[in-house]
């Protein structure tokens, strides 16, 4: 009788801590051995391949309801299939509370949206838009005990934003209970003022979306978020950081020993504000917030990744179809930029983009790649060591990479339900050959091999963030 259900042999195994040659023995969906010459009922020959932990995409939006009539193209089936094909085995999307809505009701609705659809495991963040007495005093404590240990705060968007006093109330709860708060940092009043000025001047094309949200708008809000967190003495994570100016604020805070963590996304490495300035309505494809900055900004985002300012690299997948009256054209092709649904697709391309242009291009060490895309988010959001690493007892969530494969990225090869990718035509080196979730193959060299509904909901533990600055992209 074989010792293991599955053995993956002859591969190079990489974690955030080290790189080694060994076989991986899997039993009952978990890593049971890391050694040489293992035998299993089934075997996968990983000769010439790199093996990393399955990616943890800790910032993505799937089937999230909106208040403007637009509709996300990916539900939990198509979104998690695309994630698996790109090497991600855990996603953490958002259960969003509408103002006046019970937070518990938002969570129950999101569970219904996920039920029977996900092909990989998932957890939920909460979005708090109405931190009233019942939410802070009753619903949030109960949800925390049920495994919803992180939540997002918005400083912009009329239907989601909190004022500073409300943010302080929520951060005070996070400190008291040990939860992790994520903050979308943009100054809403500056954006509204600039938008009114642009509209009065007739400047409403998609390219002016970037003009309405310049880097100082992000810098000021990032500094304010840091200040509020310092006042309460609570860890926070600034999401989708885009600009050199905001990066400098975060580096400054980390240098003072403040518990400030940060995330960035592919769009700030590979897109620029020039992508918003395409003919006609084409620039709407790349409308997201914060917007992509000028090309000269991209090296500073890379420096933030290599130098330890960023702990997390997420997709911020927000899947709106371009040629769809419920997507980017929700308000018509002549609509002003402020009416274009915000967000771009990226759940399947997140890992390959960073692997190719980070690891294979020599910008990132392989351990840094693993830390940014899997280990750190698993630790920050209370899923480690079950997720985010290759270790005895961890879930056998594994990605077998073909580092020699070269390809030209096209939307036709992707599995999301969106009709474009903003990275069309990029030449990449390296792509996931096989993805395993809990020891089951869900993506096999061009074939989806997972049944909807096999994904499990993951209650999260409370995170244990460090008090000192993090280095080299690692989370200790």
Summarised one tens digit per residue, pLDDT across range 94-137 is 999 999 999 999 999 999 999 999 999 999 999 999 999 999 99
Tokens representing residue 68 in the block: 């403007």
β-strand partners of 53: 398
The pLDDT tens digits for 344-366 are 999 999 999 999 999 999 999 99
CB atoms under 10 Å from CB of 20, counted, come to 12
Segments making up each domain of the chain, as ranges: 55-370
Which of 160-164, 243-247, 471-475 is predicted with the least confidence, judged by mean pLDDT? 471-475
Q: 69 pLDDT band (50/70/90 cuts)?
A: confident
Stated pTM of the model: 0.96
Residue spans of alpha helices (H) in 307-385: 350-354, 366-370, 376-380
Are the beta carbons of 31 and 403 closer than 8 angstroms? Answer: no
Cα(45)–Cα(8) distance, rounded to whole angstroms?
A: 6
Burial level of 429, CB count in 10 A (0-12/13-18/19+)?
middle
Cα(284)–Cα(272) distance, rounded to whole angstroms?
A: 13
Task: Look at strands 440-444 and 150-154 and give their pairing.
Answer: unpaired
Q: Evaluate if residue 471 carries a pLDDT over 70.
A: no
Buried/exposed code over 277-288 (b: 16+ C-beta within 10 A; e: otherwise): eeeebbbbbbbb
Q: What is the pLDDT of residue 67?
A: 81
Mean pLDDT of the chain: 95
Tokens representing residue 181 in the block: 């708060």
Are the beta carbons of 379 and 463 closer than 8 angstroms? Answer: yes
* Contacts of residue 63, Cβ cutoff 8 Å, sequence gap at least 6: 72, 74, 75, 76, 79, 113, 114
Q: What is the pLDDT of residue 40?
A: 94
Largest Cα–Cα separation, the chain: 77
Strand locations in 312-419 (E): 312-313, 398-408
Fold of 55-370: TIM Barrel (3.20.20)
Q: Evaluate if residue 262 carries a pLDDT over 90.
A: yes
Cα(284)–Cα(339) distance, rounded to whole angstroms?
A: 10
The pLDDT tens digits for 392-426 are 999 999 999 999 999 999 999 999 999 999 999 99
Burial level of 112, CB count in 10 A (0-12/13-18/19+)?
exposed
- The kind and range of the H/E element at 78 are helix 76-85
CA 327 to chain centre: 21
Of 395, 393, 360, 344, the C-alpha closest to 374 is 395
């Amino acid at each position: 009788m074989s010792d293991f259900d599955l053995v993956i042999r002859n591969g190079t195994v990489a974690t955030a801590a080290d790189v080694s040659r060994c076989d991986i023995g899997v039993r009952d969906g978990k890593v049971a051995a890391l050694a040489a010459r293992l035998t299993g009922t089934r075997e996968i020959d990983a000769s010439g391949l790199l093996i990393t932990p399955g990616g943890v995409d800790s910032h993505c939006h799937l089937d999230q309801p909106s208040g403007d009539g637009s509709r996300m193209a990916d539900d939990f089936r198509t979104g998690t299939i695309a994630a698996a094909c790109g090497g991600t085995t855990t996603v953490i999307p958002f259960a969003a509370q509408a103002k006046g809505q019970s937070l518990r009701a938002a969570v129950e609705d999101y569970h219904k949206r996920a039920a029977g659809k996900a092909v990989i495991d998932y957890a939920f963040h909460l979005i708090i838009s109405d931190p009233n007495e019942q939410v802070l005093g009753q619903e949030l404590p109960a949800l925390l005990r049920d495994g919803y240990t992180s939540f997002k705060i918005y400083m912009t968007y009329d239907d989601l934003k909190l004022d500073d006093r409300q943010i302080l109330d929520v951060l005070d709860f996070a400190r008291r209970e040990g939860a992790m708060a994520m903050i979308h940092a943009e100054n809403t009043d500056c954006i509204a003022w600039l938008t009114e000025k642009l509209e009065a001047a007739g400047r409403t094309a998609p390219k002016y979306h970037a003009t309405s949200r310049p880097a100082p708008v992000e810098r000021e809000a990032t500094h304010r978020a840091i200040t509020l967190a310092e006042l309460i003495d609570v860890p926070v994570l600034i999401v989708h950081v885009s600009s050199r100016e905001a990066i400098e604020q975060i580096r400054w805070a980390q240098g003072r020993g403040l518990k400030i963590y940060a995330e960035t996304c592919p769009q700030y490495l590979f897109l620029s504000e020039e992508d918003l300035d395409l003919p006609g309505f084409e620039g709407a494809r790349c409308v997201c917030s914060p917007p992509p900055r000028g090309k000269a900004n991209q090296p500073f985002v890379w420096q933030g990744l290599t130098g330890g300012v960023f702990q997390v690299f997420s997709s911020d997948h927000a899947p709106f179809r371009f040629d769809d009256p419920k997507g980017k054209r929700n308000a018509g092709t002549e609509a002003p930029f402020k009416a274009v649904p915000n967000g771009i697709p990226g759940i399947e391309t997140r890992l390959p983009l960073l692997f190719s242009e980070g690891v294979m291009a020599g910008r990132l060490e392989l351990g840094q790649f693993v830390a940014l895309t899997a280990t750190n988010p698993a630790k920050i959001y209370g899923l480690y060591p079950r997720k985010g690493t290759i270790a005895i007892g961890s879930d056998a969530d594994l990605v077998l990479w073909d580092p020699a494969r070269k390809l030209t990225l096209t939307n036709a090869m992707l599995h999301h339900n969106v009709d474009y990718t903003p990275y069309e035509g990029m030449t990449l080196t390296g792509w996931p050959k096989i993805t395993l979730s809990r020891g089951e193959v869900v993506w096999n060299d061009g074939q989806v091999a997972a049944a909807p509904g096999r994904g499990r909901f993951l209650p999260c533990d409370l995170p244990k963030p460090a008090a000192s600055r993090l280095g080299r992209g690692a989370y200790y």
